[in-house]
Amino acid sequence: MPDPIHDREHLSELVTHVAEAARDYLARVDQLPAGGTAGRDQAAGHFAGELPEDGDGSVATVTRLLTDGVQAAVNSAGPRFFHFVTGGSTPAALAADWLTSTLDNNAALWVSSPLGSKLEQVAIGWLKDLFGLPRSWGGVLTTGATMSNFTALAAARQWWGEEQGSNIAERGMSGLPAVPVMASGFIHASAEKALSMLGIGHKAVQLFTSDSTGAIDLAALALEGALVGLKGAPAIVIATAGEVNAGGFDPIAAMADLAHRHHAWLHVDGAFGLFARISPVTADLADGVELADSVIADGHKWLNVPYDCGFAFCRDARLLNAVFGMNAPYFPATEADHPDFLYLAPEMSRRARSLAVWATLAAYGRNGYRAMIERHRGLAKRLADQIRASSDFELLAEPRLNVVCFRYRPAGTPESELDQINRRLGQAIIADGTVYFGTTVYGGKVAFRPAIANWRTTERDVDIILDVARGLADR
Ligand SMILES: Cc1ncc(COP(=O)(O)O)c(C=O)c1O
């Protein structure tokens, strides 16, 4: 196939072909092994090869994706993929995402996509409402929590500079002191990565932990002492709502109070934990988020929109614009109520992610999300009860939200052997793929941490976890 212009005649056939394959796949995904087929790595290997001089044409190429491609995929869209914190795509979000690619609008400016821009404005407003954040805050869609941490911490860095009379967006950081950053041991690696990208450096983070799980002890006054030691110089404090290993929460309201009494910016990473605020059953966990200066969450986790999607919110939208604003003679002037989100976001050209975010919120509303969060929390507690009732598994932390941290502990096994046994079992679970989750280290112990975040997941999916793990351990 030479020039794509000659491919027009295949487009309809191709779209129908993929739609049919998707329909079949989605009808089966509940039953498929979460980790995909046993030959997944080999199937991925089939894609090796040189750049073709003459392409194979779209029909043959897409057919390869539907055969080898699907064989090489994991079934993370399904209900038994508990690795990391992985959401699926709700029907409304999936359909909207397809339309996003079909329309292929650039959500940089109103003029490049009135649809994408308006829906982003509406979606950001709805998300603030859903999470109980003040309406006056600014917000923007990103590719995920890492870029949201980057975006929000860039605003924090700008504030920190301005507090000392420097405009970092204009002049950089030359001549300025190191940025003091403080956090509990719950801080996620992506917030540290954001600090690396921002020239603050992840080694700048001072950790205040009271135990091996990373939890902070504010009563010990160490964080306050460090802030007092700055003698009024500005600082950044990072709190985590939903720690990745066991779903723990920093005491956000108290950290906000502390930060603001001592001239610090409070940033909250709530990649999945911010969703606790949707239900009165769990809202207390993330109490005080509205007092922070910046807050972020993920879309592709618990909102269940397709990859990739995240949100960054900032009390003072002017700071986002100070960092991410840009100008070029070919950009039109912003008109009232015609938002141009590129001025608040790291990228210039941007996928219109707002279609999926808007569609899923419009389709299911606050009550739909509340029901899902509460169902997932119930499933996490159900699994925890099964672990407690078993004689060969040990619960390592009471699940607060949707992450269950536990390990295999067959009777009579010495503590010194447990890490290795659990690591081996973790590899067997990944290789087997029936249910899918990996290991972490929690409180110094190798542990599992399945996270429930897919709209499809039910009791049937959670109830097989221990049996599958036990069966693999016995082999
Ligand atoms: C607390 C927290 N922050 C940030 C991230 C990074 O999210 P993403 O992979 O969407 O960038 C995660 C991912 O699990 C997380 O749990």
- Global pTM reads 0.98
pLDDT tens-digit map of 31-60: 999 999 999 999 999 999 999 999 999 999
Q: Percentages helix, strand, coil for the chain, rounded to the nearest 5?
A: 45, 10, 40
Ligand 1 pocket test target in 190, 243, 289, 442 with most atoms within 8 Å of CB: 190
What was the pLDDT predicted at 475?
A: 87
| Structural domain range at position 340 | 97-363
Ligand 1 contact via 244 beta carbon (within 6 Å): yes
What was the pLDDT predicted at 210?
A: 87
Tell me, yes or no, whether 377 lies in a domain.
Answer: no
**Contact in structure between 276 and 120 (CB atoms under 8 Å):** no
Q: Which residues pair with 406 in a beta bridge?
A: 395, 448
Exposure string for 198-215, b = 16+ CB within 10 A, e = fewer: bebebebbeebbeeebbb
Q: How many A from CA of 237 to the centre of ligand 1?
A: 18
Residue among 448, 415, 442 at smallest CA distance from 211: 442
Q: How many A from CA of 14 to the centre of ligand 1?
A: 35
Tell me, yes or no, whether 348 lies in a domain.
Answer: yes
**Contact in structure between 446 and 373 (CB atoms under 8 Å):** no
Ligand 1 contact via 240 beta carbon (within 6 Å): yes
Rounded to whole angstroms, the Cα distance separating 152 from 237 reads 12
Which residue puts its alpha carbon closest to atom 5 of ligand 1?
145
Which residue puts its alpha carbon closest to atom 2 of ligand 1?
271
Ligand 1 contact via 184 beta carbon (within 6 Å): no
**Contact in structure between 119 and 351 (CB atoms under 8 Å):** no
Overall average pLDDT of the 400-417 stretch:
97
Ligand 1 contact via 352 beta carbon (within 6 Å): no
Tell me, yes or no, whether 102 lies in a domain.
Answer: yes
Distances 317 to 156, 215, 246 between C-alpha atoms, Å = 11, 31, 32
Rounded to whole angstroms, the Cα distance separating 247 from 218 reads 19
The token duo for 397 is 């932390």
| Burial (Cβ within 10 Å: 0-12, 13-18, ≥19) of residue 55 | middle
pLDDT tens-digit map of 322-381: 999 999 999 998 898 999 999 999 999 999 999 999 999 999 999 999 999 999 999 999
pLDDT tens-digit map of 229-274: 999 999 999 999 999 999 999 999 999 999 999 999 999 999 999 9
What was the pLDDT predicted at 222?
A: 97
pLDDT tens-digit map of 264-314: 999 999 999 999 999 999 999 999 999 999 999 999 999 999 999 999 999
Rounded to whole angstroms, the Cα distance separating 465 from 429 reads 10
Tell me, yes or no, whether 49 lies in a domain.
Answer: no
What was the pLDDT predicted at 2?
A: 79
Rounded to whole angstroms, the Cα distance separating 353 from 345 reads 13
pLDDT band for 149, please (50, 70, 90 cuts): very high
Tell me, yes or no, whether 454 lies in a domain.
Answer: no
Rounded to whole angstroms, the Cα distance separating 424 from 432 reads 12
Please identify which residue in the block is written with the tokens 């699926």. 88
Tell me, yes or no, whether 394 lies in a domain.
Answer: no
What was the pLDDT predicted at 1?
A: 61
Rounded to whole angstroms, the Cα distance separating 449 from 438 reads 7
Q: What is the CATH number of the domain that holds 329?
A: 3.40.640.10
What was the pLDDT predicted at 276?
A: 98
Ligand 1 contact via 269 beta carbon (within 6 Å): yes
Tell me, yes or no, whether 218 lies in a domain.
Answer: yes
pLDDT tens-digit map of 103-128: 999 999 999 999 999 999 999 999 99
Rounded to whole angstroms, the Cα distance separating 189 from 244 reads 10
What was the pLDDT predicted at 342?
A: 97
Residue among 352, 422, 275, 445 at smallest CA distance from 121: 352
Count structural domains, the chain.
1
Q: How many A from CA of 146 to the centre of ligand 1?
A: 6
Which residue puts its alpha carbon closest to atom 15 of ligand 1?
271
Task: Give the H/E segment covering residue 252.
Answer: helix 252-261
Q: What percent of the chain has pLDDT over 90?
A: 98
**Contact in structure between 92 and 80 (CB atoms under 8 Å):** no
Distances 143 to 90, 151, 311, 350 between C-alpha atoms, Å = 18, 11, 8, 9
Tell me, yes or no, whether 63 lies in a domain.
Answer: no
Rounded to whole angstroms, the Cα distance separating 268 from 283 reads 15
What was the pLDDT predicted at 206?
A: 98
Q: How many A from CA of 324 to the centre of ligand 1?
A: 22
pLDDT at 226 over 90: yes
pLDDT tens-digit map of 90-106: 999 999 999 999 999 99
Ligand 1 pocket test target in 244, 309, 311, 400 with most atoms within 8 Å of CB: 244
pLDDT band for 189, please (50, 70, 90 cuts): very high
Distances 83 to 80, 276, 462 between C-alpha atoms, Å = 9, 20, 13
Q: Give the mean pLDDT of the chain.
A: 97
Residue among 466, 438, 169, 445 at smallest CA distance from 320: 169
Q: How many A from CA of 168 to the centre of ligand 1?
A: 26
What was the pLDDT predicted at 351?
A: 98
Phi, psi of 196 (to 5 degrees): -65, -45
Q: How many A from CA of 147 to the centre of ligand 1?
A: 9
**Contact in structure between 338 and 409 (CB atoms under 8 Å):** no
